[in-house]
Amino acid sequence: MIEMYKKVVFENYANFKGRARRKEFWMFNLLSALIYIALAILSTIPAIGVVFSILGLIFMLGILVPSIAVGVRRMQDQDKEWWNILIPFYSFYLCIQEGNAGHNQYGPDPKQ
């Protein structure tokens, strides 16, 4: 899980080409949410809450581009255009569906 997160955040920081598996997409979002929740809980501590609030803001700004990139790659795994991520329920539906098997216009199947 940590390795997949590092892959998305550090290796594919702004990579909008290719395809992302469901596992890569959901593990990235799960770990990002856990980190943000931990920072939000720590920000309620009176003495050092401001520091953790600022760290939470920096964290959210830091993962903005990788979040968009992994979402776009997830849409491309479904053989859809990037703008489909802007449609709330439809993009969620696409994110939980199995990707297209085999090669599509965005590259080879990431499972192979």
Cα–Cα dist 94/22, whole Å? 10
State the average pLDDT over residues 4-22. 85
pLDDT at res. 67 = 93
pLDDT of residue 3: 79
Q: What is the pLDDT of residue 42?
A: 94
Check: pTM over 0.95? Answer yes or no: no
Mean pLDDT of 30-44: 95
Give the residue extent of every domain in the chain.
2-96
- Say if residue 40's pLDDT is above 80: yes
Task: Tell me the H-state helices in the chain.
Answer: 2-6, 22-42, 49-62, 64-77, 88-96
Per-residue confidence (pLDDT) for residue 12, from 0 to 100? 82
Give the span between the Cα atoms of 107 and 78, in whole angstroms: 11
Identify whether the C-beta of residue 98 lies closer than 8 Å to the C-beta of residue 18. Answer: no
With 80 as the cut, is the pLDDT of residue 64 above it? yes
What is the overall mean pLDDT for the chain?
Answer: 91
Q: How far apart are CA 36 and CA 57, in angstroms?
A: 9
pLDDT at residue 111 above 90? no
d(CA 45, CA 99): 43
CB contact at 8 A, 39 and 52: yes
User: pLDDT higher for 87 or 2?
Assistant: 87
